[in-house]
Amino acid sequence: MAVPIEPIDDLPTEEGLFPIRTVCSLTGVHPVTLRAWERRYGLIRPKRTPKGHRLYSGEDIELIRHILRLLDQGVSIGQVGQLLDARKAPAPPEPEASGPGDPAWNAYRMRLREAVGILDESAVSQVWEDALSLFSLDTMILQLALPVRDSLRERPASDQAAAAELSFLSRWLRQTLNTRLRQMSPSIVGPTVVVVPLDESPDDLCLLRFALACRREGIGARLLGPGVPLGGLGTLAGKANARAVILYSERTPGHATRLSRFCQSWDRAHGVLCTLGGGLESLPPGLGVKDIVSLGTDPDKAAVALHEHLAR
C-alpha cells in the first residue's frame, strides 16, 4: 500500500538538511515509521520549514541508523529512548529476545496468519503497518514475513488451503516490497548492477530484499525476469552502464555447458560477474570460471559484500 510522502516543493536549500524522502532513501526506514518515532516516542526531532515539512540533519540520519541497530539487536522501541538518553550501548540480548518464542513477534505472526487465512488484504496491511511503526523493514521481513511464509510452506502438500494462502501472501509481499522500492529515490548516484535470475520460478522475495539492500548501500539494482538469453547480457549491461552482473539461483542450475560457455567468455569490460544464491554457491569445477565473485546466499549481506567489492 503506497504511503504518501511529504511534498518537497519550496524546501530551503540550507546545507546539511535533508527532506524526508531523501532520509527514507538513505536509511531504508518507512515514512510512517519515522513519524511514529518522532510523535509517539520522541526519538527524533527534525527541523521544520515554514510550511511544516520535515528537514533532517546528518546527525539525525546517524541517529536513525543507530536506532535501527538497537532494534535489530532485539531492543524494544520503548527501551530505545532510555538507551539514547543514557548514551550507552545495550548489553547483548538473550538469544530468545527476537527468536521464535518472542511473545511480541508471535502476536504479530498470529495476526498475520489469521488475516492471510481469510484472504483479507486490508487486515494484512494493517498488521504490517502496525509493526512497521516500531521496527525496521529488515526486521519486519526476518521476524514477520519469512516465518509466516515458511510456516505455510511446511504444511503438507495436500493442504490446498495452505497453498492458496501462501500464494496470496507471496503476491502481497511482492507488491508491498515493490512499492517500497519505488518509493525510494529513483535517482541513484552510485553504481548500477543487473540481476539475472537463472531459475524458471525465482524467489521474488529474495530478489526484492537484495534490491532494497543494494539501494541502502547506494547501488541501483535492475531486476530482470527469468528466461533472459545469457548471450545478450554483455550488451545490455553496457547500455545500462552497469558495474556488475549478478547471476541468481536457489537451485543448482541446469544447462551447465551453456552457463560454462557464458562465464568463460564474459568480458570484464562489461562489469564484474557475480553469483547470488545457494544454487551458485559452489559452481561445478568443470565450469572453468575465472574472476567470478560469490556474494553468498543472504541478500542483505550480499549487498554489503557487493558494495565493498565495487568500492575497491
Position 11 in a domain: no
Position 10 in a domain: no
> Who contacts 71 (Cβ-Cβ below 8 Å, separation ≥6)?
77, 80, 134, 135, 136, 139
Mean pLDDT across 264-283: 76
Same domain assignment for residues 260 and 208 = yes
Same domain assignment for residues 305 and 201 = yes
Same domain assignment for residues 204 and 131 = no
Residue 253 is predicted with a pLDDT of 62
Classified as helix, coil or strand, 272 is strand
| Placement of cell 511446511 in the chain | 154
Position 72 in a domain: yes
Q: How far is CA 39 from the centre of its chain?
A: 25
What would the pLDDT profile of 106-135 be if each residue is shown by its tens digit? 888 888 999 999 999 999 999 888 888 777
Q: Where does a domain end: 67, 86, 105? A: 86
Same domain assignment for residues 253 and 292 = yes
Q: How far apart are CA 279 and CA 276, in angstroms?
A: 8
Same domain assignment for residues 34 and 129 = no
Domain residues for the domain of 36 are: 17-86
CATH number, position 137: 1.10.1240
Same domain assignment for residues 60 and 161 = no
Position 143 in a domain: yes
CB atoms within 10 A of CB 162: 18
Position 257 in a domain: yes
Residue 124 is predicted with a pLDDT of 92
Residue 188 is predicted with a pLDDT of 57
Position 229 in a domain: yes
Q: Which of these, 241, 217, 230, lies nearest to 299 by C-alpha position?
A: 217
Q: Where does a domain end: 126, 160, 183? A: 183
**Per-residue pLDDT band at 54 (split at 50, 70, 90):** confident
Q: How far apart are CA 92 and CA 49, in angstroms?
A: 39
Number of domains in the chain: 3
Measure CA of the first residue to CA of the last residue in the chain; give whole Å: 38
CATH number, position 275: 3.40.50.280
Same domain assignment for residues 112 and 172 = yes
Residue 120 is predicted with a pLDDT of 92
Classified as helix, coil or strand, 91 is coil
Inter-CA distances, 154 with 151, 157, 165, 183, 220, Å:
5, 8, 12, 33, 34
Position 8 in a domain: no
Residue 175 is predicted with a pLDDT of 86
Q: How far apart are CA 189 and CA 44, in angstroms?
A: 27
Q: 84 or 276, which is more confident? A: 276
Same domain assignment for residues 103 and 76 = no
- Looking at the whole model, is its pTM more than 0.95? no
**Whether 80 contacts 134, CB under 8 Å:** no
Q: Where does a domain end: 86, 118, 143? A: 86
Look at residue 286 and tell me whether its pLDDT is greater than 60.
Answer: no
Q: How far apart are CA 84 and CA 75, in angstroms?
A: 12
Residue 38 is predicted with a pLDDT of 86
Same domain assignment for residues 80 and 104 = no
> Who contacts 307 (Cβ-Cβ below 8 Å, separation ≥6)?
214, 217, 218, 219
Out of 63-67, 73-77, 137-141, least confident range: 73-77
Residue 74 is predicted with a pLDDT of 66
Same domain assignment for residues 201 and 295 = yes
Residue 8 is predicted with a pLDDT of 40
Position 43 in a domain: yes
Q: How far apart are CA 30 and CA 233, in angstroms?
A: 34
Same domain assignment for residues 200 and 218 = yes
> Who contacts 152 (Cβ-Cβ below 8 Å, separation ≥6)?
116, 162, 165, 166, 169
| Placement of cell 544447462 in the chain | 255
